[in-house]
């Protein structure tokens, strides 16, 4: 569905007892500020399922994604603690829905006859920052509803005052149910960048500190993981048998390197056998008497490389500095820039 200016579903009155409401493998584009699933005039659905779908707004909406406010509650149609009104949201991608507001609005929220099963989704700018799950329950937390929240990504550009900012943040750590026995589980920490929301292209990347087994969301899109670079400091005492390359690899632990500092001992012999690939500053210095000698004869590539050839925005690099060092046997560049935008 493209260019939707009003509700996807709207109940005009009471007494419709809908057993199952399902959106599966759908793409819904909202082109105006409207409640997407609207029961505000009455009626309700006992099970609302959204699976394998992408729902997004071209401009951020301010109205709740689902609402029965002013209408009828699930209990009016037989919902109980043993047979709750259930919201199942799985393997889906949501963007710019009810930003800075409660994600859902209920005729009566935080009840024992409500259940939320929310697994393996990506939520970006959905509800208040860090309160997407609380917002599902109309802005309330606690042990009354049944909660099953697992394996989601939560991002937001909204601040604590519900104002939109330029910076996209991972807000998953703030998500909570308010129920110690049924907490938010296995939230994936990372910041998602979609390729082109305006054209409905939700391929993209997720910047993570640790690689995850699988990225959630609508499986039709490819979200590539980019592990955030780390700063690495290698002291002379970290280097065994003069092997600088091994010491750097041990400190980086398989992650890309942002700023690299290598402190050497003057008058000592070292080897380098692989390029030092970085995204930030480099400081290689020897302290003490005499020059540190680096044998690069087994290095087939460049000694230092700026690592990201695909940068589209300028990145400030404080310094590239090599001091009190003698490099021998170097076959290629001492320093090589792989692309543009390193300042």
For residue 182, pLDDT beyond 70? yes
Q: Would you say residue 160 has pLDDT above 80?
A: yes
Is 80 exceeded by the pLDDT of residue 312? no
| Dihedral in degrees, nearest 10, Cα atoms 126, 128, 129, 135 | -80
Residue 150 or residue 79, greater confidence: 150
- What is residue 232's predicted lDDT score, i.e. its pLDDT? 97
Average pLDDT over residues 108-134: 96
User: According to the model, what pLDDT value does residue 340 have?
Assistant: 79
Q: Per mean pLDDT, which range of 26-35, 177-186, 263-272, 308-317 is the poorest?
A: 308-317
235 close to 262: Cβ distance less than 8 angstroms: no
User: What's the whole-model pTM score?
Assistant: 0.87
Q: Is the pLDDT of residue 343 over 90?
A: no
Query: Is the Cα dihedral 270, 273, 275, 280 positive or negative?
Result: negative
Helix (H, G, I), strand (E, B) or coil at 235: coil
Q: What is the mean pLDDT of the chain?
A: 95
**Residue 51, beta-bridge partner list:** 24, 90
Residue 195 tokens read as 């390729």
Average pLDDT estimate for 292-304 = 97
pLDDT score of 168: 96
Higher-pLDDT residue of 75, 55: 55
User: Could you tell me which residues come within 8 angstroms of residue 193 by beta carbon, excluding any fewer than 6 positions away?
Assistant: 168, 204, 205, 206, 207
pLDDT of 314 > 90? The answer is no
Per-residue confidence band for 227, with pLDDT thresholds at 50, 70 and 90: very high
Does the pLDDT at position 316 exceed 90? no
Q: Residues 46-67: pLDDT tens digits?
A: 999 999 999 999 999 999 999 9
- Span 302-323, average pLDDT: 85
Span 20-46, pLDDT tens digits:
999 999 999 999 999 999 999 999 999
What pLDDT sits at residue 293?
97
Give the β-pairing of 164-170 and 184-185. Answer: unpaired
- Give the list of residues 6+ apart from residue 30 with CB closer than 8 angstroms, or none: 4, 5, 36, 55, 56, 57, 58, 61, 97
pLDDT confidence of residue 48? 97
State the pLDDT confidence band at 309, using cuts at 50, 70 and 90: low
pLDDT single digits (tens) 244-280: 999 999 999 999 999 999 999 999 999 999 999 999 9
- Would you list the DSSP string of 168-186? EEE-GGG---S-TTS-EES
Percent of the chain exceeding pLDDT 90 equals 90
- pLDDT tens column, 107-116: 999 999 999 9
């Amino acid at each position: 569905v493209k260019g939707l200016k009003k509700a996807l579903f709207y109940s005009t009155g009471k007494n419709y007892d809908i057993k199952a409401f399902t959106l599966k493998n759908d793409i819904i584009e909202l082109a105006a500020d409207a409640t997407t699933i609207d029961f505000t005039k009455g009626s309700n659905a006992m099970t609302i399922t959204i699976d394998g779908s992408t729902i997004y707004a071209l401009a951020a909406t301010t109205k709740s994604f689902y609402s029965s406010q002013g209408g009828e509650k699930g209990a009016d149609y037989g919902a109980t603690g043993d047979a709750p009104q259930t919201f199942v949201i799985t393997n889906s991608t949501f963007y710019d829905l009810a930003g800075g507001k409660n994600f859902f609005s209920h005729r009566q929220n935080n009840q024992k006859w409500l259940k939320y099963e929310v697994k393996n989704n990506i939520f970006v700018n959905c509800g208040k920052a860090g309160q997407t799950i609380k917002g599902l329950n109309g802005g309330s937390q606690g042990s009354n509803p049944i909660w099953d929240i697992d394996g989601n990504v939560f991002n937001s550009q909204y601040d604590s005052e519900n104002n939109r900012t330029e910076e996209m943040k991972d807000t998953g750590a703030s998500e909570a149910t308010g129920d110690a026995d049924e907490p938010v589980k296995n939230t994936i920490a990372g910041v998602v960048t979609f390729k082109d929301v305006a054209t409905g292209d939700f391929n993209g990347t997720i910047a993570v500190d640790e690689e995850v087994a699988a990225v959630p969301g609508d499986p039709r899109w490819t979200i590539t993981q980019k592990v955030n670079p780390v700063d690495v400091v290698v002291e002379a005492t970290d280097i065994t048998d003069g092997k600088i390359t091994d010491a750097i690899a041990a400190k980086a632990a398989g992650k890309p390197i942002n700023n690299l500092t290598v402190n050497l001992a003057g008058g000592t012999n070292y080897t380098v056998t692989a390029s030092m690939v970085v995204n930030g500053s480099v400081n290689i210095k020897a302290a003490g008497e005499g020059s540190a000698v680096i044998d690069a004869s087994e290095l087939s590539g460049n000694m230092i490389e700026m690592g990201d050839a695909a940068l589209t925005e300028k990145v400030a690099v404080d310094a590239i500095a090599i001091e009190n060092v003698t490099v021998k046997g170097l076959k290629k560049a001492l320093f090589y820039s792989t692309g543009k935008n390193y300042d």
